[in-house]
Structure 1
């Protein structure tokens, strides 16, 4: 050791060096007699059970940004890994990107049934070499930590309301307050420290009897529970996920929620599903909420299609709705079309965008182009001028008499 040689050059003997460094005199003599022993020899690299999987782990961490070792450990076990998670954590730790710090905040706890927090997250995926994205809606109950996640194609106000209703149905009831940030689908602006709510969102919250709250600007930590949940979804569920369509993705998200809600939470030291009974949530609204707020206006194209979530649905031509306004409502995977307050059509929602679903009777009552060309054209009639009897004028008669 260099310290031994340094102390020896200062005039200290073997016993003094051994006492100061709390090592044996034999060790001191060894390093003084053999200076080359100062440089330790590298230990031979021992094979690890993790070696065959390191390239795959690097891909998950570096490309898919999946850094949750529990998720990686489960995937490796399915691939035949028989080692422990400890060496996995040791290998993954240097691969993680540095996380920027932020100011500490005080944890805020709520009473049972008091609050739900919700937020959006952008989730990028690759399809045929192009980067696309879904919007992930996340909600969490403040007391029990029950979490809900669903993925959608857009994050406008009607979609937000639909996702909120699905979350409340998953939880089994309503909270007294809903907390979120200042998104345009919730809050338009603040006027003299008073919120000017999005009218559709405000109407919905008043109708179901849930109070709306928004956190202070630039302080997302106020709703830290849902912020951490969005981050957890990205690290635990999204990194490296594979799916065939949006329905398949949401089935995986639902299964993920079931697993995560059945695990002991690190803060409460209890399973969220067990604490859910203590929430004592308010009863869910009747069907009027879906009938009123889960409905969107659409205009039927002249060729008989109605567009919803990037998919064209053909309507029967017998309905005579081409060019007219209709109402489209989505509920539990079923799409219904309404006109003049009456349901006129229903179809299972398609999960893939840019798809056309024609109806067998879509053009049943629509004349073809050739038939239109053969249609009679307006016809006029030319008639000869009528014969008019000519009589001599009075001036001519007077000339003849004279």
Structure 2
């Protein structure tokens, strides 16, 4: 919008015979602006903007009803539906009409009441992901983070995936780390944990393997509501804390070095002053929560017993999670079954155990038993020496040089 004084100057300079280009350069306005006001003649010198379009009370009520039902919270759809009903309203008009109710609804959905649990009552679990450089290569690491809700003491374990076995192994490791089992275990709706939910009755169907694991450890599984991740806000915050503080942009020489760093960092995290409780989590745990946890089961069922079928490669190795394990070379190109445990890998050909290895967590590592290659190694020839072998005559007390000297005397 051009000021009235500029408009008067444009017309005064034009009356003196100035061209539009010269006036625009002199007053530092666009040439088309000069021409528009020169063509205006007797039009008003001040531009008048039209007032904003507003819906009446009935129109606003109808717009809100459409917004929350048929339109699915889409103002474009509401504007189209209103036009079909004979009400002219732009998308921006609809947005202004429903702004107050939308703000109230958003505040009601976003508002939360902090829920504090009794000691030993609940542990929250969640997975987070972060790309970490391991051995100079970017690697996506999956971090299982567990938090005791009362003391805020946390546990974190790194994996290369988020399969059912990884969930169970990480949760069991957290129980052992804390030295006890809480009463309830709150997680999200990951497919490894939850296989179904009835929204009408709020009934959750847990994965059979996960439910059996919880029964074995004596803990009650729970799942937060759909799209209500803040229900487990303690572990949500802990995941961010682990990624931003525990790992940040650090690099590691190996996966073992990453695990060692996390183990040392957890000790440090337990000693910090927590922002909510204003106490170190370890102090709060020792004072209030350790005695409230249930004891660990005496003989728990193995949490990881994954069975995989693999074909033996020409180099007598089978591949499991980027790690290659050796088998007897006679099984090359045969199909074997790999039993992947928490710390051990067993390989079967039919019902016969043909190989046993300690499980490796290093990316692209090779775990080899040399006995599996017996019969394939070629014997290396003995190295040549510069000293000639001894003569058989030396055993009789004479050397060839002695006979050569006698022959020379006879010839002379």
Quick check: TM above 0.5?
Answer: yes
Are 1:124 and 2:131 counterparts?
A: yes
Structure number, greater radius of gyration: 2
Are 1:283 and 2:295 counterparts?
A: yes
SS of the residue 2:139 aligns to? strand
SS of the residue 1:297 aligns to? strand
Select which of 158, 182, 190 maps to 1:183.
190
Following superposition, the deviation at residue 345 of structure 1 comes to 4.6
Matched residue pairs, number? 263
Aligned alpha-carbon RMSD (Å)? 3.0
Structure 1, residues 228-281: CA drift from partner, whole Å, max 9, x if none?
101111221222212112111111111111001012222222221122232221
Select which of 260, 263, 283 maps to 2:269.
260
* CA distance in structure 2 between the partners assigned to 1:111 and 1:348 by the alignment: 41
* Other-structure match for 1:211: 220
Is the CA contact (8 Å cut-off) linking 2:217 and 2:300 kept in structure 1? no
Structure 1 unaligned residues grouped into runs of 5+: 1-100, 369-402
* Other-structure match for 1:294: 304
TM-score by length of 1: 0.59
* Other-structure match for 1:164: 171
Cα distance change of structure 1 residues 210 and 142 upon mapping to structure 2, 3 Å threshold: same
Following superposition, the deviation at residue 344 of structure 1 comes to 6.4
Is the CA contact (8 Å cut-off) linking 1:299 and 1:306 kept in structure 2? no
Cα distance change of structure 1 residues 255 and 130 upon mapping to structure 2, 3 Å threshold: closer
Cα distance change of structure 1 residues 343 and 183 upon mapping to structure 2, 3 Å threshold: same
Cα distance change of structure 1 residues 103 and 206 upon mapping to structure 2, 3 Å threshold: same
Following superposition, the deviation at residue 310 of structure 1 comes to 1.6
* CA distance in structure 2 between the partners assigned to 1:367 and 1:322 by the alignment: 21
* Other-structure match for 1:31: none
Is the CA contact (8 Å cut-off) linking 1:140 and 1:225 kept in structure 2? yes
Following superposition, the deviation at residue 221 of structure 1 comes to 1.2
* Other-structure match for 1:96: none
* CA distance in structure 2 between the partners assigned to 1:210 and 1:338 by the alignment: 33
* Other-structure match for 1:229: 238
* Other-structure match for 1:79: none
SS of the residue 2:371 aligns to? coil
Is the CA contact (8 Å cut-off) linking 2:126 and 2:187 kept in structure 1? yes
Is the CA contact (8 Å cut-off) linking 1:112 and 1:144 kept in structure 2? yes
* Other-structure match for 1:81: none
SS of the residue 1:217 aligns to? coil
TM-score by length of 2: 0.58
Following superposition, the deviation at residue 179 of structure 1 comes to 0.4
Select which of 124, 144, 147 maps to 2:154.
147
* CA distance in structure 2 between the partners assigned to 1:342 and 1:285 by the alignment: 31
Following superposition, the deviation at residue 288 of structure 1 comes to 3.5
Are 1:310 and 2:319 counterparts?
A: no
Select which of 346, 354, 360 maps to 1:350.
360
Following superposition, the deviation at residue 319 of structure 1 comes to 9.3
* CA distance in structure 1 between the partners assigned to 2:221 and 2:120 by the alignment: 14
* CA distance in structure 2 between the partners assigned to 1:127 and 1:276 by the alignment: 33
Select which of 235, 241, 248 maps to 1:239.
248
Select which of 294, 303, 323 maps to 2:335.
323
Is the CA contact (8 Å cut-off) linking 1:316 and 1:360 kept in structure 2? no
Select which of 248, 257, 264 maps to 2:257.
248
* CA distance in structure 1 between the partners assigned to 2:354 and 2:186 by the alignment: 38
